[in-house]
Each structure stands twice: as structure tokens, then as C-alpha cells.
Amino acid sequence: MGLGHTFWALLASPIMEHKEVVLLLLLFLKSALPEQSHVVQDCYHGDGQSYQGTSSTTVTGRTCQAWSSMEPHQHNRTTENYPNAGLIRNYCRNPDPVAAPYCYTMDPNVRWEYCNLTRCSDAEGTAVAPPNVTLVPSLEAPSEQ
């Protein structure tokens, strides 16, 4: 008799209470799921050129524009011009490089902003403050200023 069959036999048992069934089900599911080897990166190292996380929100809470889109802002940060920058979806990136990962915003009045990420410290598990920048709506992208 396999583990799966034993598990289902226990669930069908009339002596099992509801909370025990739920706990047993959770334990079974946890043991059946593979270990996660990839940790989501919520901070960036250095100037963030290597950042490949999935953050897509700016420091002021604006949603990032997809790199493949030219609406509401036209730009030249495309996969054709920056093939190794990981410009996928609307994820924060630093293809230029500038001080930190950034994105074009979905707000037609604010062309780009730095992303809501912290810089990782050299010591594991500790984050440091993001770059000291003054946010000013801009007509140009970081390297076009």
C-alpha cells in the first residue's frame, strides 16, 4: 500500500475530525511539492544592472509600463537595442546603467521613476537605503538627460 493510498484511507476514516483532516492534507501537500531553489530577489546589488526580479512598481507606487510598449511613453529601451538587459514584461530593470533599477511609468505625466526596491547590503539578510535621489517628472529617460 503506497503513501497516497494510506493518506486517502486516513481521510475517509470516520474518527478523523475536520481540523485533523485539514492539517493532514496540508502536511501531505507540503511534502508533495518540490523544494523551491530560486529565491525571489527583492533587492538589487550595486547599481542593479544584474537585477532580474519581478518588481513592477515605482517608489511612488506607479505601475511600470511594459518595455515592449511605446504607450504612454515612447523610448528606445527595447530587446533589440538591449538584448542582454532582461527587458521583459513591465519588470524593473537598469539597462543603461543609472543609479538603480527603474521603469517607464503608466502615468502619461511621469515618464520614468526608480523602482520600489532596496539595495542589498554585502552582509546577507540586511538591506541598505535606496540611492538618495530627488524625484522630478522628466521628459527624458535617465541616459538621455
Domains of the chain: which residue ranges?
3-32, 38-137
Average pLDDT, the chain: 77
Rounded to whole angstroms, the Cα distance separating 103 from 82 reads 14
For the four alpha carbons of 100, 105, 107 and 111, in that order, the dihedral sign comes to positive
3-class secondary-structure state, position 27: helix
Q: Which one has a higher pLDDT value, 63 or 6?
A: 63
Phi, psi for 102 (deg, rounded to 5): -145, 180
Question: Do residues 87 and 81 lie in contact, with contact meaning Cβ atoms separated by under 8 Å?
Answer: no
Q: According to the model, what pLDDT value does residue 38 have?
A: 38
Q: According to the model, what pLDDT value does residue 141 have?
A: 55
Task: Note the pTM of the prediction, 2 decimals.
Answer: 0.60
| 118: exposed, middle or buried (Cβ count in 10 Å: 0-12, 13-18, 19+) | middle
Q: In this predicted model, what pLDDT tens digit does every residue of 67-95 receive, in sequence order?
A: 999 999 999 999 999 999 999 999 999 99
Cell of 48: 542593479
Q: Of 73, 70, 101, which Cα lies nearest the Cα of 85?
A: 101
pLDDT confidence tier of residue 42, bands split at 50, 70 and 90: confident
Please determine, for residue 113, whether its predicted confidence score (pLDDT) is greater than 80: yes
pLDDT confidence tier of residue 121, bands split at 50, 70 and 90: confident
3-class secondary-structure state, position 10: helix
Cell of 107: 502615468
Please give the CATH number for the structural domain made up of 38-137.
2.40.20.10
Q: According to the model, what pLDDT value does residue 125 have?
A: 45
